[in-house]
Structures are given as structure tokens and as C-alpha cells.
Amino acid sequence: MSPFSRVLSTFFALIIVLFFLINTTTISTSFFTYTSVFSHFLATFHGKNNHHYSFNDQTDQPNLSLRRSTWRNPFIAFKGINDISPSSVFTKKNISRAISPDIAKCGPVELPPNAITLPYCCPILPSPLKIIDFKEFAKPNAPLRVRKPIHLLDDEYMAKLEKGIAIMKSLPENDPRNNIQQAKVHCVYCNGGYPQKPPFQNLKIDIHRSWLFYPFHRWYIYFFERILGNLIGDPNFAVPYWSWDSIEGMQMPKYFANPNSSLYHHLRDPRHLPPYIVDLNYHVNAESTTQDQQVKYNLAFMYKQMVLADTKEVFMGGVYRHGDQAQPAIGSVELAPHNTVHKWVGRADLPSQEDMGTFYTAARDPIFYPHHSNLDRLWGIWTSLDGGRKDYRDDQDWLDSEFFFYDENLNLVRVNIRDSLDTKKLGYVYEEVELPWLNASPKPSRSKLQRQEKKASLLASSQDPMTTTITKFPLVLDSKVSVVVNRPKKLRSKLEKEREEEVLVMEIVDLHSDKDVKFDVHVDDDEEMLSGPDKAEFVGTFTSVPHGRHKSKTKYLVAISKVLEILEAEEDENIVVTLAPIVGKGLVSIGSIMVEYIPK
């Protein structure tokens, strides 16, 4: 070895020794998290500081500040962070695994291809960083804000919303109440801008396709409402809701179609202006139908997504804890009408149907807020069905999960899910309208005998003229396909059905989340002429909003207990599940399809 090589080896050995001597934080489990003076030095030397930044909406350029966050230490390779699993870290059952974003480590978000903005969504942070905990519950005798359906409001009330949005748009770009800054809050939580806290800082947080979906958006609309009310000088102002689930509300509200209004947005599908009826099962290639037929489809579709989805897992989405991968399972209404209305409003001729049609820009459109006000209302309605349905409120990790929002006084506020469960404590309620979908139970498209004959024919052959019956997974969904799925239990008693929901569980192992994907799911249907959304055989639809991740995994759950009753198939040992790709053929793979029984 040459003298130079010996000197170089000695130098690097000293660096490693100094690194372990100077480290200020070690965790003696199967991993280490490093924060040290030395790592700050290396970060400076290599120019790899993680800066906080705001975003210039006019120039699409980041505005960097010099507030530095810890750079990941280069020696982390000694024990890779990817080797860490929740089971190796959380060895005690009483350790909290509640999700909480590391807001000081915000970074560029993941955008779909051909995005129309740069990936800088990090909200502005105060300097010095000061966070207050939420404590502003409504006083017991204080008047409640009443969120009303837009179609029942007069011009005077809507003028207040119009004024508030106009003021938000006029605020300085670096004001957290500015409409673009408000939109960034949605972007950063929905497109992976925040990492989880150590030791899982390599995992990005995404509030979609999980149990975080409803409570996050409840808090988001809550603070938006407070900011808007403060700006117009009316603390009792409530954000109205777009009641697309009621017959009178099944079109874009006229106030949002006026080009001279602050509620107007140029990036919307011009084909869907009023009086065009919204399609709650929409896709970009959807064929037009009559208004009466569309209303019928919508009501039956709402019945399936709300009434039949009677477990928390099916309606609210999957469990998502600290250390878990994002997007565990998506809830019924989040899939549709949430996703479908987003895409119905967005421009179909843009790559990701911006603005409403993709999460990174959705909240730039003022109609986003009445849309999500309605979704918040539907969450409350769902919990009241059947005398009271169970959500996740017996799970401490769900209750303790945290988010951060600015209030009307520019305070950065930390909130948790626990404090969001009673809207009256937050100072608001909803004015209800009729729910015609409650009585829109779908009917079968054909008789029991016809279904049995078709099913027997399909089971007797390995191939059908119009589709393929398969048993091997994973399955790339590039064409219509049917799968025979066994039912572990048949002819369940009334008590058994009251205790457990029979659920069709589809494991999605490879989803191109940066693309528009939609497939419909049918049970014991005629593959040559599949039923529409108003029929019982049509049990659900999976539809994705371009999300930024190139590929992802999730689960799709469909409740089928009532469906099997309607189809008179409760005694069958198996069902035939048909998957029909509508948009994005070949962009999703199914890892398995099975029946499970989930407690209600």
C-alpha cells in the first residue's frame, strides 16, 4: 500500500470514529437515527441541505430560506432505514403508533407526469417555529354555524362566499390564508410532501386511501371556514355544501359557472356546466344518457356506497399507523363519488384533469370546498345509519393522529382526530335535505334461474366467448375477466349477518397511480352484457385520481351481504366476480380476490 493510500485510509477511519463520538442521539434497538454536529457539517460540505421554502405561484419557482433541517447522515447505510419494520420498533403494545407529519422536514411532492406546476407545496412555516395545540371548542350555549346546501341559498349568502374567496385571492403570496397557500396544504398532505417521524422518515404520509381521509378533510374545511369568516367579518359564516347526492343538487351550482365571479375557475370541463347532471360513477369515456336515467343511476350508486358499506373498513378505508406504508385500503365514498366528482369537474383535455381532477391542484378550484363539505356531511350521516355505525373511535392511534393547519390569526395549530368527532364542539352542524338514495335499493337485472344457468355454463368451461375465467394471480387487468371466488360461509343466520359483513377483498398489488385508472366490479353478472350502476349485480367501481406515485399498492373492499340476498345467492358455495377495466387497461394488477367476514 502506498503512503498516500495509508494516509487516506487513516483519514476516513478518523472520520468514522469522530462520527460515533459526536453523535447526540442513538436508539439502541435494531436501528439508529442520527442527528449530529458532524452530519450538519457534512450536509453543508456537500450542499445537500433540506431547506424550507415557500412557492411563487406566478413563476413556479421555490423561494428558499436558510432555516436548515437535519440532512440524512451518509453513514446510515451501516444499518439501512429500509430494514426497519414496525414490529421491530414497536415492541410494546402501549407505544403510540399515531401518524404525525414531520412538518420541519417537508420536501418536494410526487406529481403525475406533465404536471402543470413544479413540486413545491410546502406551507410556509413561522420563524421561529411556534405551534399551538387546538383548544378552541365552541362554547356550550354559543350559536352553531349551519352549513346549508347551495341550491337552497340565496344570492346574498353566496355573495359572502364570493367575497371571501376574492379576498383570499388578493392576499400576499406569503400569507398562509392566501388561496394558493390554502391549496398547498391539500397538496402536501395528499402527494407525499411530509415524511413520517423517525425512524420511518423514509415513508411519506398520504391521507388518501386510509382512515385519515375523513378527519383530515373535516379539519381542513373547518379552518378554511374560520379563515373565510374572519376575512368577511362574519364569524358565523358556514361553508355551504354541494349536495350532489340529492336530486336538486345534481348539477354544478350556478354560482360557480359565472365567469365574472371569484367562484369561477378556468380549469373545468366546459361540457359539465349547469344544467348538465353530474355522473357519480363518471369516467372520461362515459357515454351520455338521459337526465332521468342519470338520476336513477346516481341514487342507486349512492345506496351502494353509503348503505351497503356498513363496516368502518369498507366505508372509511384501512388502518394506517406510524411505520405503515401509505394507502392501505380505500373507502367506498372516497372512491366514488369523491374521486369521480373530482374528475367530472376537472378538464378532461389536460394530462391529469387539472385542477379538480388531481390532488396536487384540486383545492385551487373554489368548488373543492363545497364538494368536501358534502363529504364531511355524508360521514356524519353514515355514522347515524342503522341506529349508529361504528367508526375507529375505539382505536387510540386513530384518535391521536395529528395534522397541522393555520387558523384565521396566522397561528399554526396542531390538531388530532379525537377532537374532530363531534361537529357541534367545533361549532357547526348541517341543514339536512331529503335523502332519496336511502330507498334506492337496486334490483337484479335478471331472474335467479337465468343467473344460475349462466353461472353453471361459465363454471363448466375454462373460457367464455367474451371473457376469461382465471384462477392464477397476479392478474394484469388489461381486459374483462371473471374469477370464481369461494365463500367460506353460506346460508348465514340473521344474527351472523348482523354481526359480520361479507366483504369481497381485492388486493391491488401494482397500480399506476400517476395515471387515470377505473374498473368496475360485478357479481354473478352476464359477462356478455354487464349490468349498469342501478342493478344489484354491479357492486362497485375502483377509480383512481392521478396521484404522483408511479406504482402503489392498496386494497379495495366491497360489502356483498345485501347483494347476495337480493340475488338470492346466499346458499351458493362460490360467486363469479367479473372485473371490467374501463379506463387505463393494463395499468393495474390484482394480487388476490377473496371473501372475508368483517365485524360490524
pLDDT in tens, 474-506: 999 999 999 999 999 999 999 999 999 999 999
272 noted as active-site residue: no
Q: How far apart are CA 377 and CA 413, in angstroms?
A: 23
User: Is residue 582 over pLDDT 60?
Assistant: yes
Pick the most confident of 20-29, 75-84, 113-122, 178-187: 178-187
The answer to whether domain 128-439 has CATH 1.10.1280.10 is yes
40 noted as active-site residue: no
User: Is residue 71 over pLDDT 80?
Assistant: no
Q: Any known ligand binding at 266?
A: no
Judge whether 474 and 581 are in contact, CB under 8 Å: no
Query: Which of these is catalytic: 38, 75, 151, 186?
Result: 186
Q: Among residues 275, 283, 179, 291, which one has the least CA distance to residue 228? A: 179
Query: Which of these is catalytic: 338, 371, 522, 547?
Result: 338
49-64: average pLDDT: 34
C-alpha cell at position 397 = 392511534
Q: How far apart are CA 216 and CA 187, in angstroms?
A: 13
User: Is residue 69 over pLDDT 50?
Assistant: no
Q: Any known ligand binding at 550?
A: no
Q: How far apart are CA 399 and CA 557, in angstroms?
A: 23
Question: What's the pLDDT score for residue 580?
Answer: 96
C-alpha cell at position 431 = 341543514
Pairing mode, strands 588-599 and 500-511 = antiparallel
Mean pLDDT score across all residues of the chain: 86
User: Is residue 15 over pLDDT 90?
Assistant: no
The one-letter amino acid code at 363 reads A
Q: Any known ligand binding at 283?
A: no
186 noted as active-site residue: yes
Q: How far apart are CA 143 and CA 427, in angstroms?
A: 8
Q: Among residues 61, 202, 70, 183, which one has the least CA distance to residue 118? A: 61
Q: How far apart are CA 355 and CA 154, in angstroms?
A: 27
User: Is residue 32 over pLDDT 60?
Assistant: no
pLDDT tens for residues 325-370? 999 999 999 999 999 999 999 999 998 999 999 999 999 999 999 9
Query: Which of these is catalytic: 52, 272, 322, 342?
Result: 342
100-105: average pLDDT: 96
Question: What's the pLDDT score for residue 55?
Answer: 34
pLDDT cut 70: percent of the chain above it: 82
The strands making up 463-464's β-sheet, listed across from edge to edge, are 463-464, 467-470, 481-486, 574-583, 517-523, 538-544
Pairing mode, strands 538-544 and 552-559 = unpaired
Vertex 426, ends 94 and 127: CA angle to 5°? 75
Burial 107-143 (b: 16+ CB within 10 A, else e): bbbbbbeebbbebbbbbbbeeeeeeeebeeebeeeee
List the chain domain ranges.
16-83, 128-439, 448-599
Q: Any known ligand binding at 512?
A: no
Pick the most confident of 8-17, 50-59, 552-561: 552-561
217 noted as active-site residue: yes
Q: Any known ligand binding at 272?
A: no
Q: How far apart are CA 343 and CA 341, in angstroms?
A: 5
Q: Does the pTM exceed 0.95? A: no
384-412: average pLDDT: 97
19-40: average pLDDT: 34
Match 362554547 to its residue by C-alpha cell. 139
Query: Which of these is catalytic: 213, 223, 301, 359?
Result: 359
User: Is residue 179 over pLDDT 90?
Assistant: yes
CATH topology of domain 448-599: Jelly Rolls (2.60.120)
Question: What's the pLDDT score for residue 74?
Answer: 28
pLDDT tens for residues 523-545? 999 988 999 999 999 999 999 98
Query: Which of these is catalytic: 217, 322, 371, 522?
Result: 217
Q: How far apart are CA 480 and CA 530, in angstroms?
A: 10
283 noted as active-site residue: no
State the maximum Cα–Cα separation within the chain, in Å, rounded to a whole number. 90
Q: Any known ligand binding at 217?
A: yes
pLDDT tens for residues 238-267? 999 999 999 999 999 999 999 999 999 999
Question: What's the pLDDT score for residue 29?
Answer: 31
User: Is residue 385 over pLDDT 60?
Assistant: yes
Q: Sorting pLDDT into bands at 50, 70 and 90, what band is 458?
A: confident
User: Is residue 56 over pLDDT 50?
Assistant: no
Judge whether 467 and 558 are in contact, CB under 8 Å: no
Judge whether 516 and 353 are in contact, CB under 8 Å: yes
Residues ≥6 apart with Cβ < 8 Å to 273: 252, 257
Q: How far apart are CA 595 and CA 267, in angstroms?
A: 42
Question: What's the pLDDT score for residue 551?
Answer: 82
